[in-house]
Amino acid sequence: MKDNTTKRISVVILNWNGAKLLEEFLPSVITYTPAEIAEIVVADNGSTDNSLEILKDKFPTVRIIPFTTNYGFAEGYNQALNHIDSEYTVLLNSDVEVTSGWLDALITVLDSDNSIACAQPKIRSQRNKEYFEYAGAAGGYLDIYGYPFCRGRVLHIIEKDQGQYDTTTDILWATGACLFVRTQTYKDVGGLDAQFFAHQEEVDMCWRLRCRGYRLVCIPQSIVYHVGGATLNMESPQKTFLNFRNNLLMLYKNLPEDKIRHVMRVRFWLDYIAATKFLLSGHPKNAKAVYDARKEFFSLKNSYLSIRKENLKKTILKKIPELMQQSLILQFYLKGKKTYHQLVD
Point out which residues pair with 218 in neighbouring strands: 120, 169
CA–CA gap between residue 336 and residue 313 (Å, rounded): 38
* Phi, psi (deg, nearest 5) at residue 98: -95, 170
Cβ neighbours of 134 (radius 10 Å): 20
Between CA 256 and CA 261, with CA 259 as vertex, the angle to 5 degrees is 115
Helix, strand, coil abundance in the chain, percent, nearest 5: 40, 20, 35
Dihedral angle of Cα 23, 29, 32, 35, to the nearest 10 degrees: -110
Paired sense of beta strands 96-98 and 215-226, if any: antiparallel
What pLDDT does residue 5 have?
A: 74
Residues 6+ apart with CB under 8 A from 229: 134
Cβ neighbours of 128 (radius 10 Å): 12
What pLDDT does residue 318 have?
A: 87
Q: For residue range 192-224, list pLDDT tens digits in order.
A: 999 999 899 999 999 999 999 999 999 999 999
pTM as predicted: 0.94
- Nearest by Cα to 176 from 314, 80, 35: 80
Compute the radius of gyration of the chain from its Cα atoms: 19
Helix pair angle (237-254, 201-211), 10° resolution? 10
Q: For residue range 162-196, list pLDDT tens digits in order.
A: 999 999 999 999 999 999 999 999 999 999 999 99
Q: At residue 223, what is the residue type?
A: I
Mean per-residue pLDDT pooled into runs of 10, the chain (345 residues): 74 96 97 97 96 96 96 95 97 97 96 97 95 95 97 95 97 97 97 93 97 98 86 72 97 96 97 95 96 97 96 94 95 96 90
Q: At residue 42, what is the residue type?
A: V
CA–CA gap between residue 92 and residue 70 (Å, rounded): 17
What pLDDT does residue 4 have?
A: 54
Strand order in the sheet with 148-150: 157-158, 153-154, 148-150, 140-143, 323-324
Point out which residues pair with 158 in neighbouring strands: 153
Between CA 210 and CA 219, with CA 214 as vertex, the angle to 5 degrees is 95
